[in-house]
Amino acid sequence: MKAGSKVRVRWQASQRQRRFVMVTAMVVLTALYLQWHHIVAMPGHADALQSAPRSAPAANLPHYQASIDAKVVSGIADNLSGLAYNPETKTLFAVTNRPPQIAELTTDGALLRVASLQGARDTEGIAHIQGDWFAIADERNNRIHWVQFGKDVTEVSLEHSPYVQLNDIAIKNFALEGLGWDAKRQQLLAVTEKWPMQVLVMDAPLSQLKPGLVDMPVSTWEVPAVEGMPSTDLAAIEVDPRSGNLLLLGEEASVLYEYSRAGDLLSVMPLWADMAGLADRIPQPEGLAVDNSGNIFIVSEPNLFYKFERKRG
């Protein structure tokens, strides 16, 4: 057999293996989703999930339905990525990576303004801290920057901004991906995309920040279930402001997971066609945000916007 033929055979075998893994993951996730949906829908079992050890009730993701499905964000052509909710302005903030920008959106997905982001290479995540302070994830540099983005700002520069330098990795495009802010604990949480998939935790009050490199301890959130969940990457993380539970978004599997801080898997929501009120599977879900009422917002590349609300009754 020729060398080229051997390469093609190996490539085809690899493709078949990947398809098998993805199909298996979808079957498992569908079973998980139906199991959760069955538990929360059974008469007299509204509190069935309360048996899991946690500090606050779960969001119960199977209760959510899309109220805005695949709305095109007019004014952003491509690369819509990280997302954050600002409870002070009651608006959403997103980033794009080509070109690097910060955008402000309404909670219905309308673009309010866009500002250029100078000094960034590959902006993938954003978290609102307080006031006009935000944290920005730059994947290529594997850095987290803190910046101010006020009402009338049209350009933001990372020069002289406080930043944390994370450990270098071999594959630059699979590093720092999403950010979330835990206001109660004053902690910044980050996810790395893969190899490894992990959650990083930083105690990051603004009083500790100064211009330039900040020496800030970074710990790993020890959740064994994350390693075994049927997902191949992590694209975003968010803290539910009502419970403190963590929402993790898998882009390749297109699935949203809810975890307690103790590491218990509380609920699952596949973002697939004919599930959660979606007409089609969410393609490349990259950004995730939750408002104080528990509404869930997701953005996907190139420029689609989704809103999920908890069903009443």
Could you tell me the CATH number of the domain that includes residue 207? 2.120.10
- What confidence score (pLDDT) does residue 39 get? 33
- What confidence score (pLDDT) does residue 207 get? 79
Q: Residues with Cβ < 8 Å from 110, sequence gap 6 or more?
A: 73, 74
Q: Which among 290, 295, 297 has a CA at the least distance from the CA of 310?
A: 295
b/e code 217-250 from CB counts within 10 Å (16+ = b) = ebeebebeebeebbbbbbbbbbbbbebbbbbbbb
Q: Residues with Cβ < 8 Å from 173, sequence gap 6 or more?
A: 122, 139, 140, 193
- What confidence score (pLDDT) does residue 313 get? 59
Q: How many domains, in total, are found in the chain?
A: 1
Q: Residues with Cβ < 8 Å from 47, sequence gap 6 or more?
A: none
User: d(Cα 282, Cα 306) in Å, to the nearest integer?
Assistant: 9
- What confidence score (pLDDT) does residue 271 get? 97
- What confidence score (pLDDT) does residue 253 get? 93
Structure tokens at 105: 């959106």
- Which is it for the CA torsion 156, 177, 301, 303, positive or negative? negative
Residue-wise pLDDT tens for the chain (313 aa)? 444 443 343 434 455 454 444 444 454 454 454 444 433 332 332 232 233 344 456 789 999 999 999 999 999 999 999 999 999 999 999 999 989 999 999 999 999 999 999 999 889 999 999 999 999 999 888 899 999 999 999 999 999 999 999 876 655 556 789 999 999 999 999 998 887 788 999 998 887 788 999 988 899 876 655 666 667 889 999 999 999 999 999 999 999 999 998 888 899 999 999 999 999 999 999 999 999 999 999 999 999 999 999 987 5
- What confidence score (pLDDT) does residue 141 get? 86
Tell the residue number behind the tokens 């079973």, with chain if given: 31
Q: Which among 290, 296, 286, 289 has a CA at the least distance from the CA of 139?
A: 286
**Cα separations in angstroms, 224 against 47, 198, 199, 221, 231:** 25, 10, 11, 9, 14
Classify residue 172 by its DSSP letter: G
- What confidence score (pLDDT) does residue 263 get? 84
Q: Where are the alpha helices (DSSP H) in 92-197?
A: none
Q: Residues with Cβ < 8 Å from 140, sequence gap 6 or more?
A: 121, 122, 172, 173, 175
- What confidence score (pLDDT) does residue 195 get? 75
Domain that holds residue 304: 3-310
